[in-house]
Amino acid sequence: MKMIPDNIKREILAYGAENIVSIIGEYVPLRKTARAYVACCPFHAEKTPSFTADPGRKTWHCFGSCGEGGDVAKFLMKIDGISFPVALERLAIRGGITIPNYDSGEERERRGMLNVLAKVQRFYHNSLLKNQNGAKAYVGTRMTDTMVRQFGIGFAPVGGKVLVDYLDKERLPLSVAEKAGLIRKDAAGNYRDTFRGRVMFPIKDKAGYIIAFAGRTISATKSRCKYINSPETPLFRKSATLFGLDGAIEAMKLKGEVYVVEGYIDLMQMWSAGINNVVATCGTAFTREHAALLKRYVRRLNLMFDGDDAGRKALQKSILLAVKEEMKASVFIFPEGQDPDSFYRNAGKTETLITMSGFDFLKQSGVEMNATMQNLHRLERLETGFAYMAKTIPGVARLLAKRGNLGELFCPEILPIIEETINHHGGLRK
Ligand SMILES: [Zn+2]
């Protein structure tokens, strides 16, 4: 690997310095003040903004408890978890700066995979347009042509080797396609398609690059998995990826809130209904990483999960995750037997849904709460959420009483409320 020449390095860093506000603004919602731009720090939990980006000094700094700071490259390294050379390379690409003869390996591999994934998306999309294996019949009942175009929906043909043959014909490296999770070796060591006979949903990163796919079977046979995702790859981690994030960022910043749904088609249907500040989990539970990711843009989560038992359990967990990230959570309840897809397909209006705050929802489902609360005494400082819950749910007060050492958990303003509540529920055990 060659080094980046000093003069180019200076050019890249100067570009980053000049554009510090717009680059950092892609990650955190910066608000302009008299001297600088401020936001809640993405590197520690806080309610009042102490993170500042200063276009005059061309640096950022957190005046809160983490005290981090530095230039734009340092910010990218920290927030994306990348090395200094990779941060420089990303800045160079953003700024259109060419680094002569430079090749970090890491970034080349990333670009190679992104390239193959983009080509394969077009291949899948064309397969659908050509109505391979009659895929259009299924797609036609679930989504409009506009949705198919807008989200680049495709179809992975049946056969087992159709994509492998295409990659071969296009001279796209099979090893790269394998690393990107598109093909895999069978027991005999021959490459086979990962996805077969499935409607394909491209999953993008926040910049809009395709990093993975979700495939839904069109076969009526019950035994096959309904949805499968790309395996985890260097580009794709399910627990840290949200479907639709790239398209939702602007609307999220504008509205200050985001809808979280479970399904790809739920999200697409909401787009058709004009709601763009929406993301979907990729066939996994809503995680703390998801919450932390969304916190860069919004402070309120509107959770729209299915109204069944599994959905209710997921809601409880998600509300607690939101509390941990010091975000507000609301719950939207759909009419019996409906989900966001069916609701918005029938021109439903969000205003007609039953909504309640996350805490009210937790209270209502109090019977199942104790199990969920088992984890609470292990949590970090969650003053507001704890105070509220301790006051409204006796089980929480009892758990806190057992834990003791409340001074570690709560700030001085909250501690008296907690102690009072616990005493009310039978007191601290000495
Ligand atoms: Zn901080």
Domain shared by 112 and 220, yes or no: yes
CA of 43 to the centre of ligand 1 (A): 5
pLDDT digits (tens, 9 = 90+) for 119-177: 999 999 999 999 988 899 989 989 999 999 999 999 999 988 999 999 999 999 999 99
CA of 63 to the centre of ligand 1 (A): 7
pLDDT digits (tens, 9 = 90+) for 209-261: 999 999 998 887 765 678 889 999 989 988 889 999 999 998 998 999 999 99
pLDDT digits (tens, 9 = 90+) for 351-369: 777 787 777 777 665 534 4
Domain shared by 114 and 67, yes or no: no
Domain shared by 302 and 364, yes or no: yes
Domain shared by 137 and 246, yes or no: no
CA of 367 to the centre of ligand 1 (A): 38
The residues that bridge with 193 in the sheet, in sequence order, are 183
Domain shared by 301 and 191, yes or no: no
Contacts of 417 (CB under 8 A, 6+ apart): 387, 390, 391
Domain termination residue (choose one: 95, 126, 159)? 95
CA of 75 to the centre of ligand 1 (A): 12
CA of 259 to the centre of ligand 1 (A): 26
The domain that holds 118 is classified in CATH as 3.90.980.10
Classify residue 362 by burial, with Cβ atoms within 10 Å: 0-12, 13-18, 19+. Answer: buried
Angle at alpha carbon of residue 326, lines to 388 and 402, rounded to 5°: 45
Domain shared by 290 and 394, yes or no: no
Domain termination residue (choose one: 67, 95, 123)? 95
Domain shared by 206 and 288, yes or no: no
Domain termination residue (choose one: 334, 349, 368)? 368
> Is residue 100 included in any domain, yes or no?
no
* Domain total in the chain: 4
The four Cα atoms 275, 281, 282, 287 give a dihedral, to 10 degrees, of: 160
CA of 254 to the centre of ligand 1 (A): 24
> Is residue 272 included in any domain, yes or no?
yes
What is residue 372's predicted lDDT score, i.e. its pLDDT? Answer: 46
pLDDT band at 414 (very low <50, low <70, confident <90, very high): low
Beta-carbon neighbour count of residue 283 at 10 Å? 18
Q: Which of left, alpha, beta for 400 (phi over 0: left; psi -120 to 50: alpha)?
A: alpha
Predicted TM-score (pTM) of the model is 0.71
CA of 74 to the centre of ligand 1 (A): 14
CA distances from 116 to 33, 107, 123, 189, 381 (A): 44, 14, 10, 21, 45
Q: Rounded mean pLDDT of the chain?
A: 84
Domain shared by 144 and 84, yes or no: no
CA of 290 to the centre of ligand 1 (A): 19
> Is residue 57 included in any domain, yes or no?
yes
CA of 81 to the centre of ligand 1 (A): 16
CA of 53 to the centre of ligand 1 (A): 12
Q: Which residue segment(s) compose the domain that 353 sits in?
A: 240-368
Contact 276, 248 (CB under 8 A): yes
Which residues have beta carbons under 5 A from ligand 1 (an ion)?
41, 43-44, 62, 64, 66
Residue 197 is encoded by which pair of tokens? Answer: 């006979």
Domain shared by 88 and 115, yes or no: no
Q: How many whole angstroms separate alpha carbon 192 and alpha carbon 182?
A: 9
CA of 46 to the centre of ligand 1 (A): 8
Domain shared by 265 and 191, yes or no: no
Contact 114, 235 (CB under 8 A): yes
CA of 59 to the centre of ligand 1 (A): 14
Helix (H) or strand (E) holding 372: helix 369-373
